[in-house]
Structure 1
Amino acid sequence: MPPPRARPCAPAGRAHERSGTPDRSAFRRPGRLGLGLAALCLVLTGGRAADPAPGGELGLPFTRFYSFEEIGNASRGMRLDFDPLGRIAVTRAGSCIVLNDTSWIDIADRVGNGRVMERLVFSPTKDAFYGAFGTWGHARMETGRLRPQALTPADAPAWALKSNFNELLALPEGTYFASLNGLVYWDRASGRQSFLEIPGVARLFHHRGQLYVSSYAKGLCAVDVVRGTVQMIREPVPEGAEVDQVAAFDAGRVITANVAGLLRFFDGRDFSAFPGPLGEQALGRVGALVRLPDGNLAVAVNGSGVHIVAPDGRVLLALTTSEYQRVTDLASREDGVLWVVTETGIEKILYNSPLTVFGQRQGLSLSWPQLVRWNDRIVVASGGRLYAAMDGRPGETTRFQLMGEQPASAVWAVATVGEELIVGTYQGIHVRRPGGKFETVLTGMDVARLVPVNDVLYALGATEITVLRRTDGVWKECAPRVPGVGYPMIVHGSRHAAWMELGPNRAARVRLHDGRLHVRVFDEFPWKASRWINVGWAGDTVVLTGLPDGRVYFDEASETFIPRPELGRMLDLAPFPLNRFRQDESGTIWATHDDGLLTLRVENGQPVFDTGSFGRINDRFPLVQLLPGDDVWLLTGQSIYHLNRHFVAEPKPAFRPVLVSLAAGRAGRELLERPGPLPALPVLAHADNSLVLRFFAGSYASRQPPVYEFRLHHGAETTVVVGNGSLLTLNNLPEGRYRLEARLSGAVIPAGPPLFVEFAIDPPWYRTWYAYGGYLLGLATLLRLLLRWTTQRARSQNVILEQVVAERTGELRIAMQRLNDETRQTATLAERNRLAGEIHDSVQQGLSGLMLHLDATLKLPGLPEPVRSRLSVARNMVSFTRHEVQHAVWDMESPILEGTELGDALKKITALIDPGAAEMQVIIEGAPTGLPSATKHHLLRIAQEAITNAVRHAAARTITITLIYEAGGVALRVADDGNGFVPQSVLSSGFGHFGLRGLRGRTEKIGGELQINSTPGLGTVVSVAVRAPLPVV
């Protein structure tokens, strides 16, 4: 066993960049091709295997499988059709499910009451018709949904109401609905229906204006349903239907298959044999038969597989693996795309792709493979082992098997020179000739790669490099070995030398010159970043590319770097950054990029790139390999691709998206009546300003899902909008006119002109013209109200201002009054101080002296008691007068009021005033209440003045003082029985009578009311009433 190698063989990519198996979820490759039925194999091969023609190796086509679970309401046995937009459609149990790019969508509106669509077809006029049990009719597109509308009349025959109409034939002039029991024909022009009962209907078809019915009971018949005529062409056969499957072929014939699987032409009267292997004998039950748009035929044979056959009978492709053994339906609408219904799902087969793929299903275990053609067959070195292509049958994909003769150690390099197969191992180099075994021609060297250039063979290893030349029929080293420069990851043979890609910013060139090996390592480049160096060449110019930084050009004739601006400009025009390229014998450059292959030709001095013919692959970093005869192969780390010579790659039509749905995003309401171009500029309500648009690419010919680019134009503003595949959501669009531009990216499929969708969105009701009119009217009303309010407010503010001015004036008046009072009080206080000083020095001194004399007199012995009593009263009066004078000066209340009520003070004052001549009585009525000090003081003075006047001037004998406390105030009444007087004459006198004027002044000070009632000789009554006295402070 050889020791494990540090690096695997990597001829087709960068070993260090492999990070796992590439994602192939979008397309799967069919399984290993089986042998099929033995009889069919003999038919296909004419009894023997055919040797593969050079360059005719056929790989697997690209496919995309959709399981029934992914589709939805789907199951085995479904029938295929295409809607007017070209979308594949399947019908089952009331559903019509179409594939919109990558999503399956049910566009049918399912209706109960037994009207369940079991079969649905679309007519050439783009109308849809359905058949079901006991009913048939239209399926009209309304607001994006297919809604069945029954055509079943009330007087339909009983057999029709008990039949399941599962075969439909839609023609421009009318539609046929067929069941096992008979036919119904609906005429488009008149709308009339005709019924024809035919038992055992198996198939119906239309050819040259005539309807044909294949029946188990009636044989093959020409039928006129309207006239009710049945003309037998072929009698029934015991095996079953004469025509079990049928497909159009040319203007004069259709291709048919009976229940035994015999393919024949039918011209309306007679049958004729189908040419080629498939027409020589019965194949078995044919599950489906369809004519392809490119003129070829697709035949699905139960137990055998799917076969694509040319009109001349040649089998172009045979898919015979287990998944194709029970195909129930086929459909095709565009070149190169075939749809099949298998037992587990629906599969899309891109049968005429220029590239076919080889992998594990064809017997190869691939890991960075190398490939050569030897002995007219392909030999692959992969994983240290050699695989050889097997002889195949016409149309069958090429299979590989391990070569019976393997070197003793693992193979890491392979090459061919003439008829010799040369391999390199870690032990040396081994050569094998046709019919022979491997012979060792070099030992003692770990050979990683072999590169034949002209008449020499370069053997490249990680530690050593040598070169061999065939001399006298023997391979010998023709130059001394030189040390290696690193592991040769990827190698190329140009016209003059061997080139090695060694890693980031490292490449090397090996050339035999003058009997010596010259190794030149390139590790200095104009860019500073570390880039993998890819090697490509055209003619004598080798291009070292370090993407994305640039390229350098090496001229092999002069062995120097040279400028090649014209080549650089041409390579820069490529739609993809190019990694490696080769130039074939015709001058065409085959170049690889990260996702696939393209070609470059110069026509009329201008570069012409072909990017659409080869599509895109899921493997990364492919390496193109040109074998003799311009046989093009593409190698990656896990796959091998081959340019298919069976089908001529026609230019694909440009893809242009189609609008299939326009829905209001919030309500989910469909706004598009039917898919396709908008009939007129739709004006949408502002409530529908969030939209969901769905597009269809118009084709399924691409291997990858289509990539959409959206631009929304609104006035002068253009916005790039990001969608979710073919689904685009536009949220909260403002009002205005819009122009949506939808295009498909040309990086994946050939992009055609963009689709423009124009629509307008109304403003909300509050931004409409009538709303603006209402706004103007409301504004005018508001201005009027504002003006009125402003005027009223000004008036109110004036009133308030006047009130404020009045208040401020009152406050100023009060402040001035206070100031005056303070000034007066200050003056009064000063005057009182002066009077107090004067009174103290004069009146009080006199009163004090008088009191001392009275006190001395009262102490005299022998003083009679009456005299003593009178003197005592006089002494008290003098003392009281002294205190009163003092309090009066300082504006203090009477000392009699200190600590007592007004009633008690009145009693005290009577005691002081009483000379003994008059009888005084104090009467208090009501509950005493607290009175303000000023009120009590002035009432006391008023009572004192009234009593003094009664005693001094009226000679009263009886004086009654009455104090009345009431709820509303207090009243004072002093009544005497003295002489009396006339109040008006006394009060009007200008001189004297200061006491009565004092009474009036004091009454006014306390807010009271003074009444003096007096009559000469009848006494006097002085009354003072004070209402609502102020609370006591």
Structure 2
Amino acid sequence: MRSWIRWQDSLWPSSGDGESPWRPWGGWVEWFLPYALLSLSTVLSLLISGQDPAVTLGLAGLAAGWLLVSTTLVPSRWAEHPVVVAVSFTGLVTAAAVLEAHDTVFLIFMITGFFEAMRLRPAPLALTGIFVVSALINTIPNGGPLSAFADQPALWTVVTLVQTAAVGGGGLVSAAMARQHAERKRVLDELAAAQEENAGLQRQLLGQARETGILDERQRLSQEIHDTLAQGFTGIITQLEAAAAAKGDPAEWQRHVDTAMALARENLTAARRSVRALGPQPLAASTLPDALDEVSRLWSGRTGVEIRFTTTGTARALHPEIEATLLRVTQEALTNVEKHAAATIVGLTLSYMADQVTVDVRDDGGGFDPGAAVSPGEGGFGVPGMRARVTRLAGTLNLESEPGGGTAVSANLPAIALEART
């Protein structure tokens, strides 16, 4: 019994709310097709047949009345009840059979019986209804089912069974297509919701990273002002005080004034460097590949170290936070090479992938022991600072090095498109 029920549900499943989702002729067709076929049959009968028009109109009127009472005027909460559908089907097929017996042209109206039969539940009853409609629509013009099946039982049995299988198979195909369409729509809706949620999380992540980056820049500038500018101004004041105290010794006074001027120039240079560090200037009017090319070219010209810059994949505009972070990491990595590596060749690679973007900086310098490097909790920018920048944007920073074997720094970030900018 359970296996039969499973077969029945797979053929014409119930939606659970009283409506049959497999029905391919829903909507306006469901309401107007029976009336349209009845009207067409009636008009053709009146025009081309010799039947009594009064009888034709009377029978057609009774059929229309039955359609009105059993389908159109039935409350929606009862429309799909199995008993209501069975009664509606029985009356419709009876009226159609009487009309077809009156005039063969009404077999056009009898076609409505197939659609009404497919509303029957359970599935075996629907197949039986299709069989009955098929038998009537084929045999009434040949003397009726009793006469036709008595004269040629094999012929009419085969015709009826084939037609029943064809119509039922059509319902099965329609059901499968409806289920596939519903499942596809559900999957697409879930995918769209997931994409929207992911976009929201990315916007939130980038916003948090921007706020954190601002705090980091403030902390860095505060530390730089304390370490350089404040100390420089302290030295300038000290030298000027010493010069004031040495007014009687022109040579000593001049020496202190010259020292104060040199300190002032150094502080001015440091202040300008801090201002330039507030924003990724190379990105102001160029793409990330162009900016990295400029940075590498200027760095090589200043240090005398050969640098080989390459780009792989299809370059595209990314979110400003992503591009700025990659630029900052590259600049810091090159600064570390300049300060510590004693390298002769540096390789810089920018790689665009489907959903990731990577910057690799490799040198042939002296290398070091990564385990002895400054940890994130010990302060300083360097490697901990680069890792903090990348991690804030859901990226990863990998460092490979060994004494005498050079160093490789790789920053990998999600390739968030420029459209995701908020």
- Tell me the TM-score range normalised by the shorter chain: 0.3 to 0.5
TM-score calculated relative to the size of structure 2: 0.36
Q: Which has the larger radius of gyration?
A: 1
Higher strand share: 1
> More relative contact order in 1 or in 2 (CA 8 Å, sep 6+)?
2
Higher helix share: 2
